[in-house]
């Protein structure tokens, strides 16, 4: 049986995508569940540090919110229109330039007031947000490994260093954990995204040991990984808020 909902252009490009047009396109481009999820890594990195500088947490959240939430996603949409929005190219470019520029400015200010070693983090962040999303160097940085390093481990280790002004063993462990979570996210989202955006037809059945026959379609195949992604995108911010509250006591 053909699954008409799987035809490219008919299914929403993401489970959080709104109907196209106007302000809804900007919401969709922000990838709200994933942006908040990755900002949770910033909070986790900050919270495990042997210090408690609230202003540094705010600065790190602002910088990564601009660079990842706006800049990276604007570049990604400009490079191939995976979310099928109608935002003009020049608007996407302007959003990326301004947001990434502001994020780097926050980082430079942090380096001047906290530690000049933060410039290394700023340089890497500015490079990877472009190299990954624009697929520089024939896409060598646009891989699952670099996704987990850049959007998982990097936010955590950066916030931890900015808070403590040094690298600690607990920061390394939490960064490794965030790497693993981002790898899990990628493992779930890649097939679900393919089913939504580039699958024309799905056919098949599941035959149970009791003789029950169930039809398979694209909706069924993506239901489980997307449900897991929804729950994980809720769980991570809740955990991050909890550890930040505990850290401040």
Residues paired with 213 in a beta bridge: 207
Are 205 and 3 in contact by the 8 Å Cβ rule? The answer is no
Q: How far apart are CA 133 and CA 16, in angstroms?
A: 20
Scored b (16 or more CB within 10 A) or e, 7-44 reads: eeeebbbbbbbeeeeeeebeebbbbebbbbbbbbbbbb
Are 72 and 29 in contact by the 8 Å Cβ rule? The answer is no
Task: Give domain limits for the chain.
Answer: 4-247
Q: Choose among 22, 13, 120: nearest CA to 76.
A: 13
> How high is the mean pLDDT in each 10-residue block of the chain (249 residues)?
44 91 95 97 96 95 97 95 95 98 98 97 97 94 97 98 96 98 97 92 92 91 96 98 92
pTM over 0.85: yes
Q: Choose among 194, 244, 247: nearest CA to 221.
A: 194
């Amino acid at each position: 049986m053909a699954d008409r909902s799987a035809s490219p252009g008919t299914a929403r490009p993401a489970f959080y995508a709104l109907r196209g047009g106007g302000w809804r396109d900007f919401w969709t481009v922000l990838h709200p569940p994933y942006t908040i999820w990755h900002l949770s890594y910033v909070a986790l990195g900050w919270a495990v540090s042997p210090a408690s500088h609230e202003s540094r947490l705010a600065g790190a959240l602002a910088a990564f919110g601009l660079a990842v939430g706006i800049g990276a996603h604007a570049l990604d949409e400009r490079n191939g229109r995976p979310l099928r929005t109608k935002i003009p190219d020049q608007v996407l470019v302007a959003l990326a330039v301004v947001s990434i520029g502001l994020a780097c400015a926050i980082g430079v200010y942090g380096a001047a007031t906290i530690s000049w070693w933060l410039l290394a983090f700023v340089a890497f962040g500015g490079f990877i947000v472009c190299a990954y999303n624009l697929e520089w160097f024939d896409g060598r940085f646009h891989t699952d490994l670099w996704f987990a390093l850049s959007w998982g481990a990097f936010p955590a280790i950066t916030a931890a260093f900015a808070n403590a002004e040094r690298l600690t063993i607990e920061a390394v462990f939490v960064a490794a954990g965030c790497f693993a979570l981002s790898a899990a996210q990628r493992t779930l989202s890649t097939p679900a995204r393919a089913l939504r955006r580039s699958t024309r037809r799905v056919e098949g059945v599941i035959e149970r040991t009791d003789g029950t026959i169930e039809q398979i379609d694209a909706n069924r195949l993506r239901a489980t990984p997307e449900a897991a992604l929804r729950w994980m995108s809720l769980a991570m911010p809740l955990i991050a808020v909890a550890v930040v509250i505990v850290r401040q006591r």
